[in-house]
Amino acid sequence: MRPKDTRPSLISLSDAAHTFRQQPTPWMLGATIAIAFVARISVGDWQLSDILVPLAVIAIFPFIEWVIHVCVLHWRPRTIAGKTLDSRLARSHRAHHADPKNVPLIFIPWQTLTLVIPTLVAAAFLALPRPGLALTFILTMSAIGLAYEWTHFLIHSNYRPQSRFYRAIWRNHRNHHFKNEHYWFTVTTSGTADRVLGTYPDPKAVETSPTAKNLHFTRG
């Protein structure tokens, strides 16, 4: 008798999209995109910077992603004056490493987005010289955020890469989770910021980490 096949069943892209739509953060980001898009069209005042700013954000985002992943998500809890400093994002990310297939843990906590989105909006209008450009920036960041959520979810789902481009991204992030958590920090690209910042080694030359599923040997 043949041994029972215990491998997870592969899913289609439409199946993945169905599960993705059931999560709160895609709807939050989608609503932000829709509102920013309508507001941007209403405001008008199109200038060259409305092209340059999105291009700059797209170019810089892998480095932003890297810094957040390293400094925020992989934050090591610290006790200062008897109080432990530890964020919801860091706790959620440790749980995500412990259980990479747990769907809700794949996404940015919705509680975090309720703070991030208003902060992003306020910062854009305060920092940028005109309302139209602020809305362009908000629209760009929200769209990138949605792309991040979709890419991250897809990597951890049972959907398998069909293209060479996505296969490279898929392999890069899975190396981070299942090979060594100290490398391969980008999610939406393969080896961009990691190459520049020295966290893109040859996987064959890296030992499998015993703490990839238990970051810092901590609980929670």
The dihedral over CA atoms of 161, 166, 167, 171, expressed in degrees to the nearest 10, equals -110
In a domain, 164, yes or no: yes
In a domain, 116, yes or no: yes
Residue 2 has pLDDT above 80, yes or no: no
In a domain, 107, yes or no: yes
53 burial via Cβ count (<10 Å: 0-12, 13-18, 19+): middle
In a domain, 8, yes or no: no
Q: In this predicted structure, what is the pLDDT of residue 131?
A: 97
pLDDT mean over 40-51: 95
Please report, rounded to a whole number, the percentage of residues in the chain having pLDDT higher than 70: 95
pLDDT mean over 123-138: 97
Domain count, the chain: 1
In a domain, 2, yes or no: no
In a domain, 159, yes or no: yes
- pLDDT bin (cut points 50, 70, 90) of residue 216 is confident
In a domain, 33, yes or no: yes
Domain that holds residue 203: 23-217
- Tell me: the pLDDT tens digits for 60-78? 999 999 999 999 999 998 8
Q: What is the pTM of this model?
A: 0.91
- Tell me: the pLDDT tens digits for 83-124? 888 889 999 999 999 999 999 999 999 999 999 999 999 999
Q: In this predicted structure, what is the pLDDT of residue 142?
A: 98
User: Token match 């910062």: residue?
Assistant: 123
Q: In this predicted structure, what is the pLDDT of residue 8?
A: 59
In a domain, 90, yes or no: yes
Q: Which residue type, as a one-letter code, is found at position 34?
A: A
Residue 50 has pLDDT above 70, yes or no: yes
